Amino acid sequence: MSQDVKTGQGADTKIRKIVTRQFPVTGMSCASCAANIQTRLNKHAGILNASVNLATESVSVEFDQSVVQPQDLKDAVTSIGYDLIIDESENAKEELENLQLKRYRSMKRRTIWSVILATPLVLISMVFMNMPYAPFVMWALATPIVFWFGRSFFINAWKQILHGAVSMDTLVSLSTGIAYLFSVFNTLLPDFWHSRGLHAHVYFEASGVVIALVLLGKFLEEKAKANTSSSIKKLMGLQPKTVFKVLSSGEIREFLISKVKQGDIILVRPGEKIPVDGKVTSGSSYVDESMITGEPIAVIKETGSKVFAGTVNQKGTFQFTAEKVGNETLLSSIIQYVKEAQGSRAPVQKLADRIAGIFVPVVVGISIITLVIWSVFGGENGFVQGLLSMITVLVIACPCALGLATPTAIMVGIGRGAESNILIRDAESLELACKMDTLILDKTGTLTEGKPSVEKIEWRSSGDKAELEKVLAGLERLSEHPLAEAVVRHFNNSISDIRFENVKSITGLGIEGFYNGRKFYAGGSRLLSENHISIIPELDTLANQWEEEAKTVVYFADQDEVLAVLSVYDRLRETSSAAVAQIRKLGIDVRMITGDNGLTAAAIAKKSGIDSFEALMLPSAKAAYVEALQKEKKIVGMVGDGINDSQALAKADISIAMGKGSDIAIDAAKMTIISNDLAVIPAAIRLSRNTVRTIRQNLFWAFIYNIIGIPIAAGVLYPLNGFLLNPMIAGAAMALSSISVVSNSLRLKYLK
């Protein structure tokens, strides 16, 4: 988006080129990171407004292109320890995914090695402190942890300090750096403290363990970000690269899709994807529009019928006039809508991240004040005691427990979800699911199996039933219609090498053919009427009853009469009604939406125990329905399986895809039901509620620990009873707080 704005008058008139662009950002780990980037950009000349979205790892920037260029924005972000991806080529998305994957692998290696080295550090400090040269051994173990595996904390903290910013990296680097340097001094010059009547303690284990634990917390966050969604790329892949245009001379020539213009005549052959939106001008075929409607039954396309980009032609050949091309097609609008829905979501800021912006500078300030007060009022050894208290404050306040409170609970929750056949890809969704008050279920492929099948067959009493079954199966095998495929699947074991003569597939009606000199038909009611085929009252009544139940009726007949009627139906999943009942017991309003007709929708809704439903819903209508409920202040969950559901899934607060559905739906959703069993959704909701409860407990204990521990570490009890917290005890307390948080999170494995 861009606009030209004139400023000034006369010769001083300047044209400002105002543009709004969105760029991916890498390297963010908390809310303070997002705030730092946003502040840095908003201070830059030529930038009118910058808004950082932590959830999507992107920044939207409104800037004057005559003053500042994207490279300047990149330099500004890079200067404080992050990176801005300004490349807008087709490969930019893939490059970003590779960068994130590389970052994830690096974090994994650093975390593993830091934990390996930190383990003997703890053992030596607690059990083998009196071993020969223990301080030097601990020094050797701690050095690579602090300055190699944990170097990013120091680099980022330094860059941020240069620009007047702080984050959790600041607190980690200060506490571990001072503890490390203090320990090195005590290792090399222990007599400095001995001459003053003090013991030369070393705190290498504090610096090493802090780095290892914080890296573990960050790794857990990186693990969720490593598998970047490729839904947009897959959606774009639905559109073919080339098309066959029919020129005015009648010649058919292949062109790039970018060369297609409105009014061009396009040829579509069997099995090809339709490249743009348009209207059929000649020929006919069945087109799979499941990506649009979600319905498994292909739709007949004849002269005058609308066709849409991305849908798949089956066996027929036809020509159509291009009406909407480029970004105007329905497929392009879906792609754009998904992009906007994903990008417009407000970042879900965890409590720990929101507090970090205040917590970090406050702790640093307290530690400095502690040193100053001790130096002024502490007497002869005031500086030494102040330095020890300062280190103790930084160590005890290190945000390990705070940083682990959420990711450990999330990790256990995700593990429990996997055991319940639900794959949770977004931790925020797991947290948010506990607040969900409305759940929308797609019909086809979600509540139903997504595959039409023959439900019932009623035969006329006369004739050889076994032989006629073979004839029906053999005839339908020659048809390209999806309903015929359902019949063939039903009679799979009955298919033989029956050979038909003069077979004719009648578009929109059915199929006919001769066997042993006898003519047979299979199709709809119009096929019967056009061939003046009679039907006995009993079968006619049954067929009407099935149609009233919103089932599709297939007639099998010879030249004289109807031999059988078949009810073809997309079955309700066995667990759907029970799952709906369980979800409603949890206090959640359950609704259904579908692109199918109203009769079928009503029948499925009734069987499922759903009171509210919407039928004949296109993808945009589904998304609008979700948005309308959100405007009513509802927390909306969406369950779907098709490409047609991707817009609604992207828009919903909690999105769940069926595991055997389309890849696009799975990528757009934040949760995936691996088993395709809706019964796991109530379990997922209960899991979410237990997880959020555990997170709140973890954060409570982490904050209580800091609220009590920091003043004691600063020495508030010293004037009263002479008690001064040893940094070693502070390190142990810090470790204990982390252990308590992890232990509480592990309880999720046993909660129901």
Choice among 111-120, 458-467, 514-523 with the minimum mean pLDDT: 458-467
Query: What average pLDDT is seen over the chain?
Result: 77
Q: How confident is the model at residue 500 (pLDDT cuts 50, 70, 90)?
A: confident
Across the range 506-511, mean pLDDT stands at: 75
What is the pLDDT, as a whole number, of residue 231?
A: 44
What is the pLDDT, as a whole number, of residue 341?
A: 37
End-to-end CA distance of the chain: 50
280: which strand partners? 320
Of residues 161 and 403, more confidently modeled: 161
Q: How confident is the model at residue 296 (pLDDT cuts 50, 70, 90)?
A: low
Of residues 707 and 275, more confidently modeled: 275
Of residues 736 and 91, more confidently modeled: 736
Whole-angstrom distance, CA of residue 172 vs CA of residue 154: 8
Whole-angstrom distance, CA of residue 689 vs CA of residue 721: 45
Which pair of tokens denotes residue 300? 């007949």
Q: pTM here? A: 0.53
**pLDDT(89) > 70:** no
Q: Which of 221, 218, 222, 238 is nearest to 230 (CA)?
A: 238
Across the range 467-473, mean pLDDT stands at: 86
What is the pLDDT, as a whole number, of residue 439?
A: 92
Of residues 631 and 26, more confidently modeled: 631
Instruction: Mention every residue, 6+ apart, whose C-beta is less than 8 A from residue 722.
Output: none
Across the range 531-541, mean pLDDT stands at: 88
Of residues 480 and 455, more confidently modeled: 455
Q: How confident is the model at residue 345 (pLDDT cuts 50, 70, 90)?
A: very low
CA dist 316 → 88, 251, 272, 312, 313 (Å): 39, 20, 10, 11, 7
- When mean pLDDT is compared over 91-95, 145-149, 218-222, the highest value belongs to 145-149
- DSSP line for 683-740: HHHHHHHHHHHHHHHHHHHHHHHHHHHHHHHHTTTHHHH-----HHHHHHHHHHHHHH
> How many CA atoms lie less than 13 Å away from 353 in the CB half-sphere?
20
Q: How confident is the model at residue 222 (pLDDT cuts 50, 70, 90)?
A: low
What is the pLDDT, as a whole number, of residue 581?
A: 92
CA dihedral 392, 397, 399, 400 (to 10 degrees): 50
CA dist 138 → 124, 151, 165, 184, 209 (Å): 8, 18, 32, 10, 12
What is the pLDDT, as a whole number, of residue 467?
A: 83
**pLDDT(11) > 50:** no
**pLDDT(391) > 90:** no
Q: How confident is the model at residue 235 (pLDDT cuts 50, 70, 90)?
A: low
**pLDDT(224) > 60:** no
658-667 contact pairs (CB < 8 A, 24+): 658/445, 658/446, 659/423, 660/445, 660/450, 661/445, 661/446, 661/450, 662/291, 663/231, 663/234, 664/231, 664/234, 664/235, 664/291, 665/640, 665/641, 667/229, 667/230, 667/231, 667/234
Q: How confident is the model at residue 225 (pLDDT cuts 50, 70, 90)?
A: very low
Choice among 1-10, 170-179, 532-541, 729-738 with the minimum mean pLDDT: 1-10
**pLDDT(230) > 50:** no
What is the pLDDT, as a whole number, of residue 264?
A: 92
Q: What percent of the chain has pLDDT over 90?
A: 7
- The string of pLDDT tens digits covering residues 550-603 is 677 889 999 888 999 998 877 788 888 888 999 999 999 999 987 765 666 788
Across the range 247-272, mean pLDDT stands at: 87
Across the range 97-102, mean pLDDT stands at: 72
| Catalytic positions, written as ranges | 442
Of residues 13 and 600, more confidently modeled: 600
Q: Going along 399-437, which residue ranges are E strands?
A: 422-424
Residue 548 burial class via C-beta count within 10 angstroms: exposed 0-12, middle 13-18, buried 19 and up: exposed
Q: Helix, strand, or coil here: 362?
A: helix
- What phi and psi values does residue 303 have, to the nearest 5 degrees? -55, 125
**pLDDT(496) > 70:** no
Which pair of tokens denotes residue 312? 């798949």
DSSP letter, residue 273: B
Whole-angstrom distance, CA of residue 730 vs CA of residue 736: 10
Q: What percent of the chain has pLDDT over 70?
A: 76
Of residues 624 and 647, more confidently modeled: 624
Choice among 138-147, 378-387, 466-475, 512-521 with the minimum mean pLDDT: 378-387
What is the pLDDT, as a whole number, of residue 49?
A: 83
**pLDDT(520) > 90:** yes
Q: Which of 54, 384, 69 is nearest to 221 (CA)?
A: 54
Choice among 73-87, 282-296, 330-344, 649-663 with the minimum mean pLDDT: 330-344
Question: To which H or E segment does residue 471 belong?
Answer: helix 465-476
What is the pLDDT, as a whole number, of residue 280?
A: 92
Choice among 25-29, 270-274, 286-290, 356-360 with the minimum mean pLDDT: 356-360
Whole-angstrom distance, CA of residue 130 vs CA of residue 173: 28
Of residues 560 and 726, more confidently modeled: 560
Region label for 306, one of left (φ > 0), alpha (ψ between -120 and 50) or beta (otherwise): beta
Quote the distance between the C-alpha of residue 486 and its chain's center: 34
Q: Which of 438, 338, 440, 343 is nearest to 647 (CA)?
A: 338
- Token look-up 């300055």 returns 147
**pLDDT(145) > 70:** yes
Q: How confident is the model at residue 744 (pLDDT cuts 50, 70, 90)?
A: confident
Q: How confident is the model at residue 728 (pLDDT cuts 50, 70, 90)?
A: low
Beta-carbon count within 10 A of 377 CB: 10
3-state secondary structure 68-86: CCHHHHHHHHHCCCCEECC
Identity of the amino acid at 715? G
Across the range 728-746, mean pLDDT stands at: 69
Whole-angstrom distance, CA of residue 650 vs CA of residue 242: 29
| Percentages of the chain per state (helix, strand, coil), in multiples of 5 | 55, 20, 25
What is the pLDDT, as a whole number, of residue 357?
A: 58
What is the pLDDT, as a whole number, of residue 556?
A: 93
Side by side, the strands of the sheet bearing 299-301 are 299-301, 285-288, 312-313
Residue 184 burial class via C-beta count within 10 angstroms: exposed 0-12, middle 13-18, buried 19 and up: middle
What is the pLDDT, as a whole number, of residue 141?
A: 92
**pLDDT(347) > 50:** no
What is the pLDDT, as a whole number, of residue 690?
A: 87
Of residues 128 and 273, more confidently modeled: 273
